[in-house]
Amino acid sequence: MPMTITEKILASHAGLDNVAPGDLVMARVDVALGNDITSPIAIREFRESGAKKVFDRDRVILVPDHFVPNKDIASAMQAKMVREFAHEQELTWFFDAGEMGVEHSLLPEQGLVLPGDLVIGADSHTCTYGGIGAFSTGVGSTDLAAAMITGEVWLKVPESIKFVFTGTLNPWVEGKDLILYTIGDIGVDGALYQAMEFTGPVIEALSVEGRLTMANMAIEAGGKNGIIAPDALTEAYVKDRAVRPYAPFLSDPDAEYAKVITYDVDNIEPQVAFPHLPENTRGISEVGEVQIDQSVIGSCTNGRIEDLRSAASVLAGNKVAKGVRLIIIPTTPTIYRQAMKEGLFEIFMNAGAVISPPTCGPCLGGHMGILAEGERAIATTNRNFVGRMGHPGSEVYLANPAVAAASAITGKISGPSEIVGKG
């Protein structure tokens, strides 16, 4: 029976020869992930169940990254609870203080999630790991608790939608623009509980960082997961990072899909998602005059070294507009160090940016960049719901790092070609 990559991973982890959309399976997890917001609930459920030990100290990973460095007493208590549980359970992979990074940047970087894996996390953007060919999806904290105890999770096999990207990318168009364009086309519920499989020559040429960005935002179209078939680029990325053996999967050529959608990227320019939904996308040429107060470059969507390089290429030799706050957040210590080594911090600081330690901070309205009433931000984050980054009367616009950098310079939402010219 021909299967998609998603179906193959689920079948393998359920010990079955094949599965079909709609099947309910009990599947073995390779990684169960929690952070400082979701783990405390899971830990309480873990203790109330009477469990004494996690199923595998190498497979339960805890990363306090949302309200750290701790912003207040409540967040400090949450982080303390996670820290104490990690020590009690002798977890191999607990990331604190100088080792901590934004979870969905950190785990691929450290080789902890791998092609062919089944990963669950009590965070909706766990779907990021599909960028390297894993089935990964967000779950609730109680589901995380159950997986921490049993090493298994109940899942319904999703239908798959194949998205085929053809053509040639225009200047300044990145993975972020491809996924924003897709969400703008199908809507925030256009792939509800479906696997979004991204394919085609454009995806094959896209960097691993760009692929992780696309998979990261599958949830913003309602997707159960986003996934890209692993290839030579994936292998080059993971081979020296992998902490354990892995077995990649590919879709069968005759696998069945709920639908196939093809996009010609020749027609796609840098995208901006207007408030208050990621589907409210416009090409940069259609934005008009939108003044901003803040620009944020970071998050699990766009805080990797490729993203910082893109921003730096626009910011070099320029200054942030008066009255605009530019906040740059490298998402792991490794990325932070690499950006320093390459001189990117010098560019950022000369431009007038603030550089933050790794944190999810402003993305969820936590800290390190909260908006006041009436303020507008452009951000490389993944959500722009009402009050997402602070006051319910503020606005968030989503874009790629180059657009966010250009906008910080002009003080209004702008394309990078306005700053550095075509290509």
31-35 vs 60-63, strand pairing mode: parallel
> Tens digit of pLDDT for each residue in 222-268?
999 999 999 999 999 999 999 999 999 999 999 999 999 999 999 99
Over residues 66-87, the mean pLDDT reads 93
Name which of 129, 58, 56, 43 is nearest 92 in CA terms: 58
Q: CATH 3.30.499.10 in the chain: give the residue spans.
A: 5-262, 272-420
**Predicted confidence (pLDDT) at residue 322 exceeds the cutoff of 90:** yes
Tell me the two tokens of residue 180. 């924003």
CATH code that applies to domain 272-420: 3.30.499.10
Distance from C-alpha of 24 to C-alpha of 31, rounded to nearest angstrom: 20
Distance from C-alpha of 309 to C-alpha of 327, rounded to nearest angstrom: 15
CATH of 5-262, picked from 3.40.640.10, 3.30.499.10, 3.40.50.360, 3.40.50.2000, is 3.30.499.10
Please give the pLDDT value at position 422.
45
281-283 vs 294-297, strand pairing mode: unpaired
Distance from C-alpha of 387 to C-alpha of 240, rounded to nearest angstrom: 41
Q: Are 354 and 326 in contact (CB under 8 A)?
A: yes
**Predicted confidence (pLDDT) at residue 337 exceeds the cutoff of 60:** yes
Of all residues in the chain, the percent with pLDDT exceeding 70 is: 99
DSSP string, 163-189: EEEES-PPTT--HHHHHHHHHHHH-TT
Measured CA to CA in angstroms, residue 368 lies from 70, 271, 334, 363, 387 at distances of 11, 25, 20, 9, 15
Distance from C-alpha of 231 to C-alpha of 246, rounded to nearest angstrom: 14
Distance from C-alpha of 229 to C-alpha of 252, rounded to nearest angstrom: 11
Say whether the peptide bond before residue 104 is cis (omega within 30 degrees of 0): no
Q: What is the pTM of this model?
A: 0.93
Name which of 343, 346, 365, 367 is nearest 357 in CA terms: 367
Mean pLDDT, the chain, rounded, equals 96
The secondary structure of 70-113, three-state, reads: CCCHHHHHHHHHHHHHHHHCCCCEECCHHHCCCHHHHHHHCCCC
Q: Is 34 helix (H, G, I), strand (E, B) or coil?
A: strand
Please give the pLDDT value at position 421.
64
> Tens digit of pLDDT for each residue in 97-119?
889 999 999 999 999 999 999 99
Q: Are 223 and 233 in contact (CB under 8 A)?
A: no
Say whether the peptide bond before residue 21 is cis (omega within 30 degrees of 0): no
Of all residues in the chain, the percent with pLDDT exceeding 90 is: 94
